[in-house]
Structure 1
């Protein structure tokens, strides 16, 4: 594999670097040195930097689109490991999210941030990235249909609502 192909592969394995290249925010020389050290690229850093510049030209520009969604907060939820009563439901509890036998249900000390409307995996990924950057721990998260759920600690609830709203206002568009 050529150094250019290895460089592209290394960038694709690091989505943050791909996004930064798309946005035009990368110091190519510094990124080349970092990739040589971290990704084990075997080549001159000037050649890696040149490959990054060429790759940048092939990438679509970084753009965002707002999403129309209503964001609400629901306190008193929990994450349980055994969410089934044999019929696939927990008696008397509303399931917000289910993955295998684990579920987000009423009755707990956490808060669910629920966004309904124009949501998808890209919106969830953006929300999770922003929540992580805001030092908000996420106990569970998912998206299906027109609903997105992020479960956080009760004390992080209000901040998480603001973060998710901001995330939905600027969801990255990936044309590639």
Structure 2
């Protein structure tokens, strides 16, 4: 495998680095050192740095777009085994309205995997730990009640700056 191909594969395993390359905010030498253990190049970080620079040139530039979506909050969710009335079911876990201590942030409109990723990344960056989440016709994220109001704001912000797909 060529050094260039190994570099591209190592970068793609780290989506944050793909985004940083697209945004042109990467110190290529520092990134080469970061990837050095995975790309066996010995002491030749210059070659990896050059491969990173060339890969960045191949990637589309980083841009964002706003999604047309409605964000609402539903409090009082609890875990349930009865999935008929559940707002969200992930595997064997259902979350339904009732007397629970969880809050759901529900997004309808232009939602997809890219928006889902942006929402989860923003919540994690804000130290909000989703308990469950899914996207299909709508996007639902279940959080602790105390995080509910902030989670709504973070989700709205994330949907205003969803990364555009690569060209």
Q: Give TM-score, length-normalised by structure 1.
A: 0.89
How far residue 53 of structure 1 moved from its aligned partner, in angstroms, is 0.3
- Pick from 137, 152, 158 the counterpart of residue 161 of structure 1: 152
Q: C-alpha separation between the residues in 1 aligned to 2:164 and 2:142?
A: 25
Structure 1 stretches of 4+ with a deviation exceeding 4 A read none
Q: Which residue of 2 aligns with 1:126?
A: 118
Q: C-alpha separation between the residues in 1 aligned to 2:92 and 2:56?
A: 43
1:148 aligns with 2:148: no
Q: C-alpha separation between the residues in 2 aligned to 1:21 and 1:79?
A: 41
Runs of 5+ unmatched residues, structure 2: none
Runs of 5+ unmatched residues, structure 1: none
Number of aligned residue pairs: 164
How far residue 79 of structure 1 moved from its aligned partner, in angstroms, is 3.0
For the 8 Å contact 2:103–2:142, the answer to whether it is kept is yes
Considering only aligned residues, what root-mean-square deviation do their CA atoms show, in Å?
1.2
Relative to its length, the structure with more strand (as a share) is 1
Once the two structures are superposed, the pairs formed by residues 15-164 of structure 1 within 5 Å of their partners are 15-37=15-37, 40-43=38-41, 44-80=44-80, 82-84=81-83, 89=84, 94-107=85-98, 108-145=100-137, 147-164=138-155
For the 8 Å contact 1:83–1:102, the answer to whether it is kept is no
How far residue 95 of structure 1 moved from its aligned partner, in angstroms, is 1.7
How far residue 69 of structure 1 moved from its aligned partner, in angstroms, is 0.8
Q: C-alpha separation between the residues in 2 aligned to 1:24 and 1:141?
A: 31
For the 8 Å contact 2:90–2:132, the answer to whether it is kept is no
How far residue 34 of structure 1 moved from its aligned partner, in angstroms, is 0.7
